[in-house]
């Protein structure tokens, strides 16, 4: 139980290096430290509740199913981050196409770039949090 609480406290911080690597150079070139903080602060604010409300139940389900390898946690995290973005992108494409099949291809082409970026960013952040959570929970005592 203590390791799980430690994991809840530590794992969401894994978004910081991921986002810094992805957006740090761009943010520093386009606004400096304040711009980077504008990316990192909201990520931390979101990461903690998502870890508790969604990540913890997924962790418990993975343990119950005896799926406790790093790969299991990484895949669960990747899906947790990517699937909502994929769903949102699909809805955005259909709405932009005004629910007409003839407009789907053009709308998909316009939304593919930001949708792909969103899937990569949210997927990478969630996978990092999930694998960090597992590392803290599975850490051997000193």
- Locate the domains of the chain by residue range: 2-137
| CB-based contact 14:126 (threshold 8 Å) | no
> Mean pLDDT throughout 84-101?
93
Is the dihedral angle over the CA atoms 47, 59, 70, 87 positive or is it negative?
A: negative
Per-residue pLDDT tens over the stretch 128-142: 999 999 999 998 565
Q: What percent of the chain has pLDDT over 70?
A: 98
CA within 13 Å, CB half, 24:
7
The chain-wide mean pLDDT, for the chain, equals: 93
Q: What is the pTM of this model?
A: 0.88
């Amino acid at each position: 139980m203590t390791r799980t609480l430690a994991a809840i406290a530590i794992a969401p911080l894994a978004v910081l290096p991921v986002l810094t690597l992805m957006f740090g150079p761009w943010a520093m070139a386009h606004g400096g430290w304040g711009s980077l903080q504008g990316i990192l602060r909201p990520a931390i604010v979101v990461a903690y509740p998502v870890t508790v409300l969604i990540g913890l139940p997924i962790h418990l389900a993975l343990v119950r199913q005896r799926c406790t390898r790093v790969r299991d946690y990484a895949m669960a995290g990747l899906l947790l981050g990517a699937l909502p973005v994929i769903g949102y992108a699909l809805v955005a494409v259909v709405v932009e196409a005004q629910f007409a099949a003839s407009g789907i291809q053009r709308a998909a082409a316009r939304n593919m770039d930001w949708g792909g970026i969103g899937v990569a960013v949210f997927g990478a952040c969630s996978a990092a949090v999930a694998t960090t959570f597992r590392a803290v929970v599975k850490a051997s005592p000193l």
